[in-house]
């Protein structure tokens, strides 16, 4: 254990691949996100749409997990989940804490993107459209799992999956009422580019009078 702690304290990586200048970025952060996302795909980043989603309870207790970005536009960033899961409960109108944060980390490009804003449910029609595009097994999985609930063992899931496979033998599987999409409408978006000597480039976009303001942050 001591050797491992010593190793952690000595891990160092000097970032030097690229730079980020506030005079070179797009005025709209969604366009800047699209540019960086395209470059992440081109660099063959594994799961470039994987992002950390941070939510919190009404009392302020935080939790984080990885989810997958499934769409984005000037309206915001879309992901899908079980509405009854922990993250769904923390975001629901009952708990009244729709404030969330997203984090993309692409080490191959020495880049991070931090996004903060408010989350809303998509319309049922929007959720239906995406659900119908999913593979059959993924649709069955959405019905199988009561996400975040305690279960006795793995066999509980396997048996439920097999039962549902017989109930829905083809692709015609309805969307569960407890499953659907969320849209995070951003209020701030920060682009982080690793630089030498820990003097990283940080460009912050924030909403001011319905327009995006661009500022540089100290690393």
**pLDDT at residue 2 greater than cutoff 80:** yes
Q: Are residues 147 and 193 in the same domain?
A: no
216 is catalytic: no
> Of 191, 192, 195, which Cα lies nearest the Cα of 15?
195
Distance CA 90, CA 84 (A): 9
Q: Which domain holds residue 21?
A: 13-132+177-217
Domain-embedded: residue 64: yes
User: Do residue 53 and residue 145 come from a single domain?
Assistant: no
Confidence at 151, pLDDT banded by 50, 70, 90: confident
Residues 112 and 97 in one domain: yes
Among candidate residues 134, 136, 175, 198, the one labeled active-site is 198
Does residue 153 carry a pLDDT above 70? yes
Question: 68 and 141: one domain?
Answer: no
The answer to whether residue 91 is domain-embedded is: yes
Candidates 117, 134, 122; CA nearest to 79 is 122
Residues written for the chain: 219
pLDDT digit string, tens, across residues 156-204: 989 999 999 999 998 899 999 999 999 999 999 999 999 999 999 999 9
Asked whether residue 6 is assigned to any structural domain, the reply reads: no
Please give the pLDDT value at position 93: 54
Q: Give yes or no: residues 29 and 118 share one domain.
A: yes
Number of domains in the chain: 2
Read off the pTM. 0.89
Residues 142 and 74 in one domain: no
CATH number of residue 72's parent domain: 2.30.110.10
Q: What is the largest CA-CA distance in the chain?
A: 59
- pLDDT > 80? residue 13: no
Asked if 37 and 105 touch (Cβ cutoff 8 Å), the reply is no
**Nearest-CA neighbor of 24 among 208, 203, 196?**
203
Percentage of the chain modeled with pLDDT above 90: 76
- Residue-wise pLDDT tens digits, 93-143: 545 788 999 999 999 999 999 999 999 999 999 999 999 999 999 999 999
154 with 53, same domain: the answer is no
Does residue 2 belong to any structural domain of this protein?
no
């Amino acid at each position: 254990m001591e050797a491992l702690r010593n190793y952690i304290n000595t891990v160092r990586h000097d970032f030097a691949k690229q730079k980020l200048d506030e005079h070179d970025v797009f005025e709209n952060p969604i366009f800047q996100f699209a540019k960086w996302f395209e470059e992440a795909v081109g660099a063959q980043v594994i799961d470039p749409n994987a992002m950390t989603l941070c939510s919190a309870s009404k009392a302020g207790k935080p939790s984080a997990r990885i989810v997958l970005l499934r769409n984005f536009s000037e309206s915001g960033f879309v992901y899908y989940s079980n509405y009854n899961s922990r993250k769904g409960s923390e975001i629901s109108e009952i708990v009244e804490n729709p404030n969330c944060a997203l984090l993309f980390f692409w080490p191959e490009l020495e880049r991070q993107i931090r996004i903060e804003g408010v989350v809303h449910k998509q319309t049922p029609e929007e959720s239906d459209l995406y659900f119908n595009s999913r593979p059959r097994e993924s649709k069955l999985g959405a019905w199988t799992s009561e996400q975040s609930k305690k279960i006795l063992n793995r066999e509980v899931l396997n048996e439920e999956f097999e039962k549902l496979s017989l109930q829905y033998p083809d692709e015609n599987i309805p969307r569960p009422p407890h499953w659907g999409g969320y849209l995070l409408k951003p209020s701030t978006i920060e682009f982080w580019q690793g630089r030498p000597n820990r003097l990283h480039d940080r460009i912050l976009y924030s909403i001011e009078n319905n327009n995006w303001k661009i500022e540089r942050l100290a690393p």
